């Protein structure tokens, strides 16, 4: 359905509507997103702007997620429904075949043209953005994203049809500006759940039967990963996008923990639902329950956003059945991996991954 969003200011119990600023917003939006792509997704890193394709088109913004998959971001501006969808699919057909060398070249040119300061490698930029080493396999998949203030019924139907019937990873983000006196406020809404799109959870990948095994990303510095494997926890945070999927994990669920860029490091059973890092306790040497952050130096670093429930780190207690050090993580060609903190994949790739991991970890 087309986006209908209203904002009201509350003054002493009375409500006053905040006016929608129907200005040259879509022309300004590219600059806004370029300066702070987190307002679209904290999971993206801009690697290109106004990127020319081999077919004559120019991609507004090109991003990379923490799985090193590419995100094509196209602003609707004054394009017709037919034009914006066709153009995005055309760009996707080009991006799908980009090799590592071309991607690094795009990033280098982007820095020289749009960034001020030191030129860094894409590996350095990735580690700075996500705190992890860039995966060996880049551009294993890609997403297509339309950015607009609103979309008509026809465009929304086409986007839904492509996603649900053909498994295309396509989505739309709606941004609107509201003005209250001299101040402007930006709102954001997604057409489709971004986590399902980024995980490829469209019709062709969700019609299979779920095998009951949970996928978990342990995307933290290795000292935190090692602490979690030793003390019995996984963690996610830095935004609700990452932490809210931890609520899927109920006691008794079996998880397979993946460290981006390394591989799978453990299999275990959930023993408690998620807790804020401040509330998570472990037993000290005397057998007393004490706050984790008091006895673990790596865990103490997780307390940085404790005052902000949205960005705070949340932990889930795990009874590990088997673990390996991240330096010896288990990784094979064809293994399933994505950036979601927790997922219930229903794909043949996930089934294959679990069966291989059972053998590698010696799990029945």
H runs (alpha helix) in the chain: 25-35, 81-95, 100-114, 122-130, 153-166, 194-198, 203-206, 222-231, 240-243, 292-295, 297-300, 348-361
Residue 315 sits in the same domain as residue 185: no
Mean pLDDT, range 282-306, rounded to an integer: 85
Residue 97 sits in the same domain as residue 26: yes
Q: Which domain holds residue 244?
A: 213-361
Residue with the bigger pLDDT between 49 and 137: it is: 49
Residue 200 has pLDDT above 60, yes or no: no
Residue 221 sits in the same domain as residue 80: no
Residue whose C-alpha is closest to residue 78's, from 27, 3, 22, 32: 27
Number of folded domains that form the chain: 2
Residue with the bigger pLDDT between 186 and 144: it is: 144
Q: Residue 204: what pLDDT?
A: 36
Residue 1 has pLDDT above 70, yes or no: no
Given 205, 224, 258, the domain boundary residue is 205
CB 40 within 8 A of CB 173: yes
Residue 249 has pLDDT above 90, yes or no: yes
Residue 32 sits in the same domain as residue 136: yes
Is residue 9 situated within a structural domain? no
Residue 195 sits in the same domain as residue 142: yes
Residue 198 sits in the same domain as residue 244: no
Q: Residue 246: what pLDDT?
A: 93
CATH number of the CATH domain containing 285: 3.10.590
| pLDDT tens digits for range 101-149 | 999 999 999 999 998 888 999 999 998 888 777 877 889 889 999 998 7
Given 156, 183, 205, the domain boundary residue is 205
Is residue 263 situated within a structural domain? yes
Residue 120 sits in the same domain as residue 89: yes
When pLDDT is cut at 50, 70 and 90, the band that residue 350 belongs to is very high
Residue with the bigger pLDDT between 194 and 349: it is: 349
Residue 55 sits in the same domain as residue 192: yes
Mean pLDDT, range 237-266, rounded to an integer: 90
Q: Sign of the C-alpha dihedral, residues 308, 309, 310, 315?
A: positive
Is residue 201 situated within a structural domain? yes
Residue 207 has pLDDT above 70, yes or no: no
When pLDDT is cut at 50, 70 and 90, the band that residue 72 belongs to is very high
How far apart are the C-alpha atoms of 300 and 235, rounded to whole Å?
A: 13
| pLDDT tens digits for range 13-41 | 788 777 776 546 666 888 999 999 988 88
Q: Residue 21: what pLDDT?
A: 65
Residue 313 sits in the same domain as residue 352: yes
Of 160-164, 178-182, 261-265, give the range with the top mean pLDDT. 261-265
Given 168, 187, 205, the domain boundary residue is 205
- The pTM (predicted TM-score) of the whole model is 0.65
CATH number of the CATH domain containing 102: 3.40.1350.10
Residue 152 sits in the same domain as residue 236: no
For the ranges 59-68, 80-89, 204-213, 215-224, the lowest mean pLDDT is seen at 204-213
Mean pLDDT, range 300-325, rounded to an integer: 87
Residue 201 sits in the same domain as residue 125: yes
Residue 252 sits in the same domain as residue 353: yes
């Amino acid at each position: 359905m087309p986006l209908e969003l209203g904002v009201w200011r509350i003054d002493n119990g009375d409500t006053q509507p905040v006016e929608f600023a129907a200005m040259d917003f879509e022309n300004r939006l590219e600059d806004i997103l370029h300066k702070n792509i987190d307002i679209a997704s904290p999971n993206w890193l801009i690697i290109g702007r106004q990127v020319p394709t081999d077919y004559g088109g120019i991609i507004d913004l090109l991003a990379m997620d923490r799985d090193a998959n590419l995100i094509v971001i196209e602003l609707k501006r004054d394009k017709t429904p037919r034009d914006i969808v066709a153009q995005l699919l055309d760009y996707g057909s080009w991006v799908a075949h980009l090799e590592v060398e071309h991607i690094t070249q795009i990033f280098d040119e982007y820095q020289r043209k749009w960034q001020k300061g030191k030129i860094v490698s894409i590996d350095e930029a990735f580690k700075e953005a996500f705190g992890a080493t860039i995966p060996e396999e880049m551009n294993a998949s890609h997403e297509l994203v339309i950015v607009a203030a609103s979309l008509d019924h026809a465009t929304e139907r086409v986007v839904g049809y492509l996603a649900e019937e053909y498994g295309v990873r396509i989505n739309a983000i709606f941004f609107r500006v509201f003005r209250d006196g001299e101040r402007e406020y930006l709102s954001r809404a997604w057409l489709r759940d971004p986590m399902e799109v980024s995980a490829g959870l469209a019709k062709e990948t969700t019609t299979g039967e779920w095998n009951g095994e949970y996928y978990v990303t342990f995307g933290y510095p290795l000292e935190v990963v090692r602490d979690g494997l030793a003390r019995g926890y996984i963690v996610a945070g830095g935004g609700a996008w990452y932490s809210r999927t931890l609520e899927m994990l109920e006691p008794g669920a079996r998880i397979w923990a993946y460290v981006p860029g390394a591989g799978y490091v453990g299999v275990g059973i959930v023993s408690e639902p998620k807790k804020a890092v401040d509330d998570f306790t472990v037993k000290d040497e005397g057998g007393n329950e004490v706050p984790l952050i008091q006895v673990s130096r790596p865990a103490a670093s997780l307390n940085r956003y404790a005052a902000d429930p949205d960005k705070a780190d949340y932990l889930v207690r795990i009874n590990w059945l088997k673990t390996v050090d991240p330096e010896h993580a288990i990784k094979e060609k064809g293994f399933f991996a994505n950036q979601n903190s927790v997922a219930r994949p229903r794909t043949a790739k996930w089934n294959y991954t679990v069966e291989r991991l059972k053998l590698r970890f010696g799990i029945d």
